């Protein structure tokens, strides 16, 4: 009897779930990647200072990440629908609050609300992809994360236009309402795989766990903490670039200078933001797919080394408009893959039953990394330029690349061998 290929036996439902997750991620992308467009207009109106305003970004990332394990617990037990619906409501509410914020306290409160909502959507969609696609885990996580990375690319110019025409308050209000409504509508169609839908006989890809580790068991494993450290090291540099790109462009005196590439002419900052979002999205499924073929740690080494190179080149040659656009694109391309590589590696090591909670615990490293973002402004104020910040980011990325090959890879191999030995006995 001829066996039916795995890809045919698995229901088409998983591709629908993947697409729905990607759309949800695109709807929450502006909360993080569109933020840089609002920093200067807010400061121009209230004169709170960029460092103070960026505290809101840190609060957003902290609440978006550190509560994901709690939201993941609900998802693993009650399914994705209710959690994403909850997130959609908060996403819309947060930007409506931002549109009316007349004090730092209200701005910070809105950031917290938005972070909780975005985390509920992000963690749920990533976890759902990991559960539906055990055979293409890196690619599925990458495509889902790409919605978050590239989702704001199409709206950079409309947001800038609305800020210029009607003020940043109108942009917050209208985009907030639209994003929240779409997420709430999609939430009703999300679901986790039922028993037997993806649990079929197939060869394991790479070193995948054949038993399911609880969150507590994972927290007692050194592999988790090595991945956490690596996530913080790489995440900090990328988050700093995400939050500070507009101020960096302004300090480099290239933000409004026209740049012509591929027949398109835009101000350097606008061009960089659009290109960065696209590349930051493309890199997630690309490196996720590469990691399915070459192995997670090998791919991490390549990507993190490329990120270090990109940041160094940006610090050396980014003060001309064209190189600023191209090199910032390289930085974002080499950074965004952490959001596909780390959750897929985590699920490879610890199984799928608690995948949303476990990946959520690892995702809190992004929140830890965000604590370093305001220090970029402080260090720049002390030194008078961005070079010290760039140098530190280069060192952190190189350290993570070396940890991937010389620490994480042998640890995971030993973990896999030891588990298989215990299973055999």
Residue at 343 is within a domain: yes
Q: Which residue has the higher pLDDT, 165 or 150?
A: 165
- pLDDT band per the 50, 70, 90 thresholds, residue 270: confident
Select from 225, 232, 408, 398 the least CA-distant residue to 303: 398
Question: What pLDDT was estimated at residue 209?
Answer: 55
For the residues 62-83, what does the mean pLDDT come to?
A: 86
pLDDT, the chain, mean? 84
Portion of the chain with pLDDT greater than 90, in percent: 30
Instruction: Note whether residue 5 is domain-resident.
Output: no
- In the numeric block, which tokens belong to residue 54? 């960026």
Name the pLDDT band for 11 (thresholds 50, 70, 90): low
Q: Is 415 exposed, middle or buried (0-12, 13-18, 19+ CB in 10 A)?
A: middle
SS3 255: coil
Task: Tell me which residue range forms the domain holding 276.
Answer: 12-190+209-420
pLDDT (0 to 100) of residue 183: 94
Spell out the residues 6+ positions from residue 197 whose beta carbon is closer than 8 angstroms to its own: 10, 11, 13, 14
Domain at 250, CATH number? 1.20.1250.20
Per-residue pLDDT at 14: 87
* Residue (of 385, 361, 111) closest to 253 by Cα position: 385
Residue 320 placed within a domain:
yes
Is 117's pLDDT higher than 90?
A: yes
Q: Provide φ and ψ at 261, rounded to 5°.
A: -145, 135
Out of 186-195, 218-227, 268-277, give the one with best mean pLDDT.
218-227
How much is the average pLDDT of 254-264?
A: 85
| pTM for the model | 0.76
d(CA 246, CA 127) in angstroms, rounded, equals 32
- Asked whether the predicted pLDDT for residue 425 surpasses 60, the reply is no
The DSSP bridge partners found for residue 258 are 267
pLDDT at 268 over 70: yes
| Local confidence band at 303 (pLDDT 50, 70, 90 cut-offs) | very high
Q: Is residue 232 part of a domain?
A: yes
Whether 89 has a pLDDT exceeding 90, the answer reads: yes
- Most confident stretch, 6-20, 171-185, 243-257: 171-185
When mean pLDDT is compared across 39-53, 217-231, 320-334, the lowest value belongs to 39-53
Judge whether residue 173 has pLDDT over 60.
yes
Provide the pLDDT for residue 55: 87
Sign of the torsion angle spanned by Cα atoms 346, 350, 351, 357: negative
CA distance 394 to 288: 23
Residue 84 lies in a domain: yes
Quickly state the pLDDT bin for 118 (edges 50, 70, 90): very high
- The structural domain count of the chain equals 1
Interhelix angle 104-132/13-28, rounded to 10 degrees, is 160
Residue 2 lies in a domain: no
Q: Domain for residue 198, yes or no?
A: no
Residue with more model confidence, 279 or 385: 279
pLDDT band at 12 (very low <50, low <70, confident <90, very high): confident
d(CA 185, CA 384): 48
Rounding to the nearest 10 degrees, give the CA dihedral for residues 224, 225, 229, 230: -30
**CA–CA dist 133, 337 (Å, integer):** 18
pLDDT at 243 > cutoff 80: no
Q: Which helix (H) or strand (E) holds 271?
A: helix 268-294
Q: Check whether 424 has a pLDDT greater than 80.
A: no
Is-contact 40 209, C-beta < 8 A? no
Cα gap 14→193, rounded to integer Å: 8
- Name residue 366's beta-bridge partners: none
Look at residue 4 and tell me if it is in a domain: no
Rounded mean pLDDT of 130-151? 83
Q: Band of the pLDDT at 370, cuts 50, 70, 90?
A: confident
């Amino acid at each position: 009897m001829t066996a039916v290929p795995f890809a045919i036996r698995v229901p088409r439902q998983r591709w629908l779930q993947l697409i729905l997750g990607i759309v949800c991620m695109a709807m929450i992308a502006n909360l993080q990647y569109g933020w840089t467009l609002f920093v200067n207009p807010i400061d121009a109106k209230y004169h709170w200072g960029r460092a103070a305003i960026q505290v809101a970004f840190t609060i957003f990332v902290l609440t978006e990440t550190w509560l994901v394990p709690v939201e993941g617990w609900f998802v693993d037990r009650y399914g994705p629908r209710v959690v994403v619906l909850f997130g959609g409501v908060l996403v819309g509410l947060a930007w409506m609050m931002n549109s009316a914020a007349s004090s730092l306290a209200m701005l910070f409160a809105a950031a917290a609300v938005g972070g909780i909502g975005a985390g509920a959507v992000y963690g749920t969609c990533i976890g759902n992809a990991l559960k539906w696609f055990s055979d293409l885990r890196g690619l599925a996580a990458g495509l889902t994360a790409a919605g978050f990375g590239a989702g704001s690319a199409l709206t950079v110019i409309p947001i800038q236009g609305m800020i210029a025409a009607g003020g940043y308050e109108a942009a917050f209000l209208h985009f907030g309402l639209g994003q929240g409504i779409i997420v709430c509508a999609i939430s009703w169609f999300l679901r986790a795989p039922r028993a037997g839908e993806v649990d079929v006989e197939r060869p394991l890809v790479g070193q995948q766990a054949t038993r399911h580790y609880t969150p507590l068991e994972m927290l007692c494993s050194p592999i988790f903490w090595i991945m956490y450290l690596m996530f913080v090291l790489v995440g900090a540099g990328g988050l700093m670039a995400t939050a500070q790109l507009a101020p960096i462009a302004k300090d480099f005196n290239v933000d409004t200078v026209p740049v012509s590439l591929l027949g398109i002419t835009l101000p350097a900052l606008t061009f960089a933001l659009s290109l960065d979002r696209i590349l930051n999205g493309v890199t997630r499924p690309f490196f996720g797919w590469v990691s399915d073929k070459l192995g997670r740690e090998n791919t991490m080494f390549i990507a993190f080394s490329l990120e270090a190179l990109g940041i160094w080149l940006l610090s050396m040659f980014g003060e001309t408009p064209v190189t600023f656009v191209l090199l910032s694109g390289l930085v974002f391309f080499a950074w965004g893959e952490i959001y596909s590589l780390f959750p897929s590696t985590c699920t490879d090591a610890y199984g799928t039953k608690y995948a949303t909670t476990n990946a959520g615990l690892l995702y809190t490293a992004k929140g830890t990394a965000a604590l370093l973002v305001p220090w970029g402004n402080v260090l720049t104020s002390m030194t008078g330029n961005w070079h010290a910040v760039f140098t530190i980011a280069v060192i952190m990325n190189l350290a993570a690349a070396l940890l991937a090959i010389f620490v994480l890879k042998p640890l995971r191999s030993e973990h896999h061998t030891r588990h298989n030995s215990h299973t055999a006995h």
